[in-house]
Structure 1
Amino acid sequence: MSSRLRKAWLVFLAAALAVTGAVYGVTRPASADVTAELTAPQLVADMGAGWNLGNTLEASVNGIPGETAWGNPVVTQAFIDKVRAAGFRTIRIPVSYLGHIGAAPDYTVNAAWLNRIKEVVDYAHSRGLYVLINMHGDGYKTVSGSWLICDASSQTAIREKYQKVWQQVAIRFQSYDEHLIFESMNENFDGQYGNPTQPCYSNINAYNQIFVDTVRRTGGVNASRWLLVPGWNTNIDYTAGNYGFVIPTDQYRSTTIPAAEQRLMISVHYYDPWDFTGTEDGTITQWGAGATNPAKKSVWGQEDFLDGQMKKMHDTFVTRGYPVFVGEYGSIDKTTYDSASNRYRADYARAVVTAAKKYGAATAYWDNGWNGQHGFGLFDRSSGAVTQPGIVNAIMSAVGTQPSSSPSASTSPSASASPSPSTSPSTSPGTCRVTSAVNAWNTGLTNSITIANTGSTAINGWRLTFTLAGGQAITSGWSATYSPSSGTVTATNASYNGAIPAGGSVSIGYQAGHTGNAAAPTGFTLNGATCN
């Protein structure tokens, strides 16, 4: 979106950087292991918390992409390991091609650029993470050298070029397992922020169809891998509403895919309300039911609106077997205007992930690598240090993911999960501590609970019991099973988080309705022992 591009340009000017050529080496071979693809609900659950490597491989100057062009350092394996260790299980890698595409009719992509894309993908894929790559800045009118323009007159040439580029990318990655997902394009529209226009929307639909057909026809794992397609400007209303979006047909997919299952995902972004998430001034610095100053809170785009937007995607696509991916969301740093603003940024991130999960969608936070005023950054791109632990913790508590302490390679994200519980859950009095964080609104609330093992031995299998306030009833939960839904409730561990090592913790949570009493639960006991 335009404000992120402006921020990138400011970063570029501030750093006084010129386009530099990274050293592109030959990378290790891709994994040829092919495992059974997951169903839509399994995929969303397995993707966990997602994060964007923004303003990097899509960065460009004068139409030439270069990963340091907008001020971020060269990506390293060590940095990706830091992202994984923070708990993220999916990394979206925006990619631009632009001036790295050769002339017609072959439109050959620069070999060094493809090699570098592959190398960065391997940093994450080799660690068992889900990886998404797309065609990002090629469709932005505000980017020099852009060409994937839906209202341009030369649609025949555009479609030929688009097909050739995706064919080369798909062939390069055709043996990678299902943890690699392709996304057709990013925020493509005519540049006017009004209702979609025709034939521009028809051209976007045509691009999506070319993308699906081209990838499938390259064979290998591409015949069955998940593919991600957006509607108009990745806008929820213009994708789920009656504005012209058409889901591509998938006629060339592998015959091994069960007929009742899909292999297409729907891409949307969420930055509402923009006066909180993106407007670069100090007027609106707070968000959500926890806001303390009504004058600093937007008059729209709060929890009820967010819930309704995610429900639209669920009702339109998830119910038909198409999972939804909120490929970008987030909010900028406004602490120079309001020292408490980061608290509301964390509330916002938690709420987006919670609502998305409730309605069958995965998410990826937008991180442009910029920390400080107006930045989206969660990490220091040079050291790998987490710069916004409150936001990261909010994301992890909402999705139910624990940070990983071992960034070693694995065959899948689930390989690093905790072992299944034993048949004899155990703990001792005084060896557990429970904290909960309630985020309430009108008639609903979410509660994120952290269970810490303060003892000297591991807990193998757990049941957390607590009492809800009167008038509350759990409507959905994550990272545990909850029974009954009201009164005294027992949360029983999931298959992947039953073991809590000494000094370790797990995060779970739920959404509940209430009739005016949004108080936190009380009387926590873990396997019968009272917790502090």
Structure 2
Amino acid sequence: MRKFISRAAALLLAGVMTAAVAGCGKNSDSEAKDTAKKWTELDQTQITEAMGLGWNLGNQLEASSGGLPSETCWGNPEITKELIDTIKAQGFKTVRIPVSYLDMIGDGPDYKIDTDWLDRVQEVVDYVVNNDMFAIVNMHGDGYYTVDHSWLLCAEDDDKQTEIKDKYGKVWTQIADRFKDYDQHLIFESMNEEFNNDYGKPDEKAYDNINAYNQIFVDSVRATGSNNEKRWLLLPGWNTNIEYTAGDDYNFKIPTDKGCKADGKRIMISVHYYDPFNFTIDENKTAKTQWGKYAVKNYDNWGQEDYVDSQMALLNEKFVSQGYPVVIGEFGAQDKTEKFADYNEFRRYWSEYLIKAAKKNGVVCVYWDNGYNGNKGFGIINRFDYTITQPDLIAGMMRAINSTDDYEIPSPAGYTEVRKSAKAS
């Protein structure tokens, strides 16, 4: 269930709000050509460093109702340039922009994307890239079995897959063509948490379809030419799960990239991190409110500091060391201060530890913000008035990304002793 956080948190936000969408499409051809000339080559080390710490514009352009995307239908206000300016001012260098298309895609054989919707996506992308930040643009809700009118479904039968793959390629061709002259600040992400809606081990046939989607994505983007021939492309494995993507016993395949004209690899790997689930998300009787070596009660027996270290080391060994940057496109722990007053200090410590370990292993982190502040929310900023709601959490995350590897992460306030069992391990 931890991989459904983006959808689950969105539904929560919708319920709460009920109770109390390089050059813009309007740019001239000369402006677009000028944008294309501004490309700066960034290799693996340079792009990882330049992306710094990221933030998700969650529950907005991927929000939908009855199959129709709408950036305000889950309770958030319209996205503004001021919001992105505020996020940059906090020190974030990357914004992930989840996007759903769903019924904004017309019928076959052309599968034309609604022009107004693509214009709005581009307008939001411009808020980011024109601010000298990196923008990650994906296809988000179209692959969820729990979203109305989703269609990018990896477990459908072979006859249906022919149609899905044709549609997928044509949709990404349109997106890529719209943005082909943008510079290195734009990164395309093929899909989100793509799997068969079963949280057990991956199904081999469904995984084959995910691998095929990633290959179609790479080929479609490269074929549009211009800067897309050298753009960094971000690809997930099964449900963005680290073990099912990096583990040797599973089926993730990095696509061939024959259309790439860059000097070096231009493929990134996408994973998410919400471990341990009982600490980061769960609000039921099994919920945990403390984490790590300073925890004294109500903590998990797994998923602690050593687990974070091992997961980041696995990503480094399998991908980073082979020339493929890794992006944790989502991570976060929801607010549980109603359950435990000191929770946010452990939440800060967890986030800071993850970012420090990720950075050490060449992995980029992008915080998941669903726009909801308060109990069960992931918000760090009020999107209505741009006030910062979690300054201590942001300060800890920025300390982790900006400090040297040997700095000591501050313990949760009021918890300074390392428990004996943690020392022994």
Same fold (TM over 0.5): yes
Corresponding residue for residue 418 of structure 2: none
Deviations 1:445-484 (A, max 9, x none): xxxxxxxxxxxxxxxxxxxxxxxxxxxxxxxxxxxxxxxx
Secondary structure of 2:336's counterpart equals coil
**8 Å contact from structure 2 (residues 353, 409) kept in 1:** no
Match for residue 171 of structure 1? 177
Aligned with 1:377 (options 376, 379, 390): 379
Give the secondary-structure state (helix, strand or coil) at the position aligned to 1:32: helix
Q: Which residue of 1 aligns with 2:84?
A: 80
CA drift of 1:271 comes to 0.5
8 Å CA contact 1:150, 1:204 repeated in 2:
yes
2:119 alignment counterpart? 115
Is the Cα contact below 8 Å between 2:319 and 2:326 reproduced in 1?
A: yes
Amino acid at match of 1:174: K
Of residues 237, 246, 260, the one that matches 2:253 is 246
Partner of 1:308: 310
**One-letter amino acid of the structure 1 residue matched with residue 323 of structure 2:** G
Contact 2:57-2:97 at 8 Å conserved across structures:
yes
Write 1 or 2 for the structure with the bigger share of strand.
1
Tell whether the 8 Å contact from 1:266 to 1:324 is kept in structure 2 after alignment. Answer: yes
- 1:437–1:241 CA distance, 2 compared to 1 (3 A): closer
Say if 2:25 and 2:178, in contact at 8 Å, map to a contact too.
no
Counterpart mapping for 1:279-294 below 5 A: 279-281=282-284, 283-291=287-295, 293-294=296-297
Q: When the two structures are aligned, how many residues end up with a matched partner?
A: 396
Q: Aligned partners of 2:54, 2:334: CA distance in 1, in Å?
A: 18
Find the partner of 1:38 among 35, 38, 42: 42
Deviation, 1:36, is: 2.9
Q: Which letter maps to 2:339?
A: Y
Counterpart in 2 of 1:89?
Answer: 93
Q: Residue 509 of structure 1 aligns with which residue?
A: none
Greater radius of gyration (CA): 1
Instruction: Map 1:120-519 to 2 at 5 A.
Output: 120-153=124-157, 154-242=160-248, 243-254=250-261, 257-258=262-263, 261-281=264-284, 283-291=287-295, 293-294=296-297, 296-400=298-402, 438-439=409-410
The residue matched to 2:142 in structure 1 has which SS? helix
Cα distance in 1 between the residues matched to 2:5 and 2:268:
26
How far the C-alpha of 1:391 sits from its partner, in A, is: 1.0
Distance in 1 (alpha carbons) for counterparts of 2:25 and 2:42: 31
Task: Tell me if the contact between 1:287 and 1:344 (Cα under 8 Å) persists in the aligned partners.
Answer: yes
- What residue in structure 1 maps to residue 420 of structure 2? none
Q: Which moved more, 1:382-391 or 1:362-371?
A: 382-391
Distance 2:15 2:52 in 1: 36
Displacement of 1:287 in angstroms is 1.0
Report Cα offsets for 1:321-357 as digits up to 9, x if no partner: 0010010000000000111100011111111111110
Q: Residues of 1 paired with 2:361 and 2:5: CA distance?
A: 29
Distance 2:182 2:311 in 1: 33
For residues 486-519 of structure 1, what are the alpha-carbon distances to aligned partners after superposition, in whole Å with 9 as ceiling and x for unaligned?
Answer: xxxxxxxxxxxxxxxxxxxxxxxxxxxxxx8xxx
Answer whether contact 1:2 1:142 (CA < 8 A) is retained.
Answer: no
Report the RMSD for the aligned CA atoms in angstroms: 1.8
Which residue identity lines up with residue 384 of structure 1 in the other structure?
A: Y
SS at structure 2 position matched to 1:362: strand
* Local SS of the residue matching 1:168: helix
Is 2:229–2:260's contact at 8 Å kept on the other side of the alignment?
A: yes
What residue is the counterpart of 1:505 in the other structure?
A: none
Query: CA separation in 1, counterparts of 2:254 and 2:409?
Result: 38
The code of the aligned residue for 1:42 comes to Q
Letter in 1 for 2:252: F
- Kindly state the Cα deviation for residue 110 of structure 1 after the two structures are TM-superposed: 0.2
Contact 1:37–1:225 at 8 Å: present in 2 too?
no
* Residue of structure 1 equivalent to 2:58: 54
1:154-200 deviation line (CA, Å, top 9, x unaligned): 00000000001000000000000011000000010011011111210
Cα pair 1:33 1:176 within 8 Å, conserved: no
Distance 1:382 1:286 in 2: 31
Amino acid corresponding to residue 138 of structure 1 in structure 2: D
Kept in 2: contact 1:27–1:119 (CA 8 A): no
Counterpart code for 2:76: N
* Residues 181-237 of structure 1, C-alpha deviations (whole Å, 9 max, x = no match): 000000100110111112100000000000000000100000001000010000000
User: What is the CA–CA distance in structure 1 between the aligned matches of 2:15 and 2:129, rounded to whole Å?
Assistant: 33
Matched letter for residue 204 of structure 2: Q
Structure 2 residues without counterparts, runs of 5 or longer: 412-422
Maintained 8 Å contact 2:352/2:409? no
Cα deviation for residue 2 of structure 1 reads 2.9
Normalized per residue, the structure richer in helix is 2
Residue aligned with 1:152, SS = coil
Between 1:346-355 and 1:392-401, the stretch displaced more is 392-401
CA contact (8 A) 1:138 1:148 kept: yes
Matches of 2:380 and 2:26, distance apart in 1: 28
Q: Distance in 1 between matches of 2:390 and 2:234?
A: 29
| CA distance in structure 2 between the aligned counterparts of 1:27 and 1:369, rounded to whole angstroms | 29
Runs (5+) with no aligned partner, structure 1: 402-435, 441-515, 517-532
Q: Tell whether the 8 Å contact from 2:142 to 2:152 is kept in structure 1 after alignment.
A: yes
Compute the displacement of 1:439 (Å).
4.6
Percent identity for Structure 1 against Structure 2 = 49
CA distance in 2, matches of 1:273, 1:108: 41
Equivalent pair of 2:349/2:409 in contact (CA under 8 Å): no
Q: Which has the higher contact order (CA 8 A, sep 6+)?
A: 2
Three-state SS of the structure 1 residue aligned to 2:364 is: strand
